[in-house]
Amino acid sequence: MTITPPELSVFESLESEVRSYCRGWPAVFDRAQGSWLHDEDGHAYLDFFSGAGALNYGHNNPVLKRALLDYLERDGITHGLDMSTTAKRRFLTSFQDVVLRPRELDYKVMFPGPTGTNAVEAALKLARKVKGREAIVSFTNAFHGMSLGALAVTGNAFKRAGAGIPLVHGTPMPFDHYLDDQTPDFLWFERLLEDQGSGLNRPAAVIVETIQGEGGINVARPQWLRQLAELCERRDMLLIVDDIQMGCGRTGPFFSFEEAGITPDIVTLSKSIGGYGMPMSLTLFKPELDIWEPGEHNGTFRGNNPAFVTATAALDTYWADGQMEKQTLARGDQVESAMRDILREHRDTKADFRGRGLVWGLEFADKSRAAKVCARAFELGLLLETSGPQSEVVKLLPALTIGPDELDEGLRITARAVRETA
């Protein structure tokens, strides 16, 4: 595929220097369907990024699209603040019937504003309010958002520096596998908590991702998560699972923490919860934590009703039975096998891969390799992104609805990009 330089002048002259993805993918995208994007020059790109996890059901999924068009055509409420609407009721009902009840979860549902960082801010506020403490424990290489509350529990030094103020009230602990594997899990955290002289401000809550997506596809083992949940329980800290990127089926089950068999006190969802890539997010919490006063947290766009419509369609279509989970795990096996082949082919190169469901990371000893692989993949018509504090991991995040042949095609391009950057 040859790419002629796209017309980017208005982006370059008018848009802030803060823009980023558009730099790595210098095309002007126009249409998209399923796992394919099309730029204005007619090139097609296979999407292994899925809007950073916001497009688990693919671009412009036809089932969701139909529901959305119907809703818009009949002038359903678009902007609803937090008024009761029929669209919201349908969403709540489906969410209860399809997601919560079958998993025996009795969470209350909060619409904290339509972005992930809103959901995290609400979760942290609530945890602090419930416990009457300020401190939050997060993990190395965590990513929770860009507003100041969420940023304070995010690991990335470059993003943190953007705050312009010292970020406080958060303390990092080692994520699973962070230290050499001789050090017992939670030894340090436990000692800090049990020792009245440790100097750790007693935490209101712990916030964790089960797989760190931005942090480098770091996968926590189920037993590590169970130990963490048990520690939170024992030490009177709330456990917040930030499932914004890993929830909605990315790892197989609807919630990524299901495999570990834990029930977090608070859960954040965003990205794919709306189904169609439109802004929506949820903060879920155990009913006994629902001590909010009416309006104590609010936001103009927390009632994005078109997103409720597509969210409902997504739940009803994909989660009424266990098919989606099974399919994701099968597709995951396909990826894993391809990863294994890549490593075998490059036996002489120090490399590593890890993942679960349809989120995978491929890392090379040469940390600059990942960026080269992604750049070459783009030339070959595949959207791939890097992840990790030094962008040292190739991140594979295809739509859950990708077909096996499409997946294969993307994996072949990935393998080729690896080969051609050796």
Question: In whole angstroms, how far apart are CA 37 and each of 5, 60, 135, 313, 417?
Answer: 17, 10, 43, 22, 19
Contact 279, 115 (CB under 8 A): yes
Nearer to its own copies, 11 or 346 (CB): 11
Token pair 């040859």 is found at 2
Task: For its own copies, give the closer residue by CB, 295 or 347.
Answer: 295
Kindly state the smallest distance separating residue 340's Cβ from its own copies, in Å.
27
Q: How far apart are CA 230 and CA 139, in angstroms?
A: 17
End-to-end CA distance of the chain: 21
Q: C-beta of 249: minimal distance to its own copies in Å?
A: 17
Residue whose C-alpha is closest to residue 261's, from 241, 285, 288:
241
Query: Could you tell me if 309 and 89 are in contact, meaning their C-beta atoms sit under 8 angstroms apart?
Result: no
Question: Rounded to the nearest whole angstrom, what is the least distance from the CB of residue 392 to its own copies in the complex?
Answer: 10
Instruction: Give least dist CB 346 to its own copies, A.
Output: 25
Choose between 59 and 418: whose C-beta lies nearer to its own copies: 59
Comparing CA positions, the residue from 163, 156, 189, 164 lying closest to residue 175 is 189
- Is 19 or 340 the residue whose CB approaches its own copies more closely? 19
Count the neighbouring beta carbons within 10 Å of the beta carbon of residue 154.
25
Smaller CB separation from its own copies, 30 or 341: 30
Instruction: Give the integer Cα–Cα distance in Å for 127 and 138.
Output: 13
Instruction: Compute the least distance from the CB of residue 316 to its own copies, in Å.
Output: 16
Q: Which is nearer to its own copies, 187 or 330 (CB)?
A: 187
Q: Which DSSP symbol is given to 393? A: E
Handedness of CA 408, 410, 416, 422 (dihedral sign): negative
Residue 44, classed as helix, strand or coil, is strand
Shortest distance in whole angstroms from residue 395 CB to its own copies: 14
CB atoms within 10 A of CB 24: 14
- Least separation in angstroms between residue 338's CB and its own copies is 25
Closest separation in Å from C-beta 243 to its own copies: 14
Instruction: Return d(Cα 33, Cα 399) in angstroms, integer.
Output: 11
Closer CB to its own copies, 112 or 252, in the complex: 112
Residue 107 near residue 255, CB atoms below 8 Å: no
DSSP-assigned beta bridge partners for residue 225:
none
Quote the least distance from Cβ 341 to its own copies, whole Å: 29
Q: In terms of CB distance, is 35 or 418 closer to its own copies?
A: 35
Q: Which is nearer to its own copies, 53 or 247 (CB)?
A: 53
Q: What's the CA gap between 319 and 7, in Å, rounded?
A: 41
Q: Which two tokens stand for residue 367?
A: 């940390």
Residue 211 Rama label (left phi>0; alpha psi -120 to 50; beta): beta
